Amino acid sequence: MACFIQAAYLLELDRQENRNEQNALAPKWWIPFKYKLTQTLIDERDGSIFGAVLEWDRAAAMADLVVIRPSGAPKAVLALRGTILKSLTMRRDIEDDLRFLAWESLKGSVRFNVALEALQSVAKRYGSSNVCIVGHSLGAGFALQVGKALAKEGLFVDAHLFNPPSISLAMSLRNIGEKAGCAWKRLMSMLPPKTETLIPNEAETSPGSVSGGFRNWVPSFYGQNQKQKPSVDLRKWVPHLYVNDSDYICCHYTDQDGVSEKREVSDKENNSPVVNAIPQAAAKLFVMSKGKQKFLEAHGLEQWWSDNLELQSAIHSSRLISQQLKSLYSIK
């Protein structure tokens, strides 16, 4: 999958350097895997290539006596490249980098709609279980958000995201707000308890009273589980994330989720736990850890196909993953 992303990078570099079919570099990164290029994704703002659709080439496979497509090999792959710091495309790439940094959303980019339409097309043609979306750096940010948008439509495609961006002003502001909220709770816990106990009378707890009405409208404040909500589809879209802990762009994906403390809240009246009807967001997170590395090495794509690649499965509950995927598991 990392090699397919390299092909997406080289498609744009081939275009910039006017290489033809005879000396183009990009095909060397999909031909050995028996895939073929069926679509290039073009940014209409500058004409640059930011992605590609590669499909299983049955004829090429049969020519090499590969009769059956290998298990796990998708029929189609949408590969999205990251930022290229060359004058012909650098401006538009950095625009989208800043878009993510400021708002943590890439939906306003023209690339988002082009990528989503391409993914929808191949998912409907081959079935979502036979399609994969992959990306590196900025491309991984697009892949995550495009894959999530498709998951909301009920189409779950495989996703492999290399060095996805994890830094944004929106996230920083959210963290500041959460820390302020925690500080406020600690301050309130230090205050002495009230000496008087308020015992509600029957009028206050009757169904028609204001207090009773408030209980019915906001049961979560009282830890009460009212009527069960109708059954919903709880299938999860679980992307694969590959991060390097020396890469400051993606390292925040390894931050632990703090939701476990919130789940310990219980009803003070009957000590019954608050029912959490929203499943936890999930992803498969793999971490490359080689000690201190230079940024270009830690953020580079080539590390993911190196011969000495050693990955470890990491944190089961990542705070950033929960933030980015929680909308998928909200019950509407």
Residue 129 clears pLDDT 80, i.e. is over it: yes
Total-model pTM? 0.75
Q: What are the structure tokens assigned to 61, written together?
A: 């496979």
- Listed residue (140, 113, 152, 106) closest to 1, CA to CA: 140
How far is Cα 242 from Cα 250, in angstroms, rounded to an integer? 9
The pLDDT-based confidence of 239 (bands split at 50, 70, 90) is: very high
How far is Cα 329 from Cα 12, in angstroms, rounded to an integer? 37
For the ranges 42-46, 185-189, 256-260, the lowest mean pLDDT is seen at 256-260
State pLDDT tens for residues 198-223.
444 544 445 444 444 434 433 333 33
Q: What are the structure tokens assigned to 228, written together?
A: 């069960």
How far is Cα 93 from Cα 100, in angstroms, rounded to an integer? 11
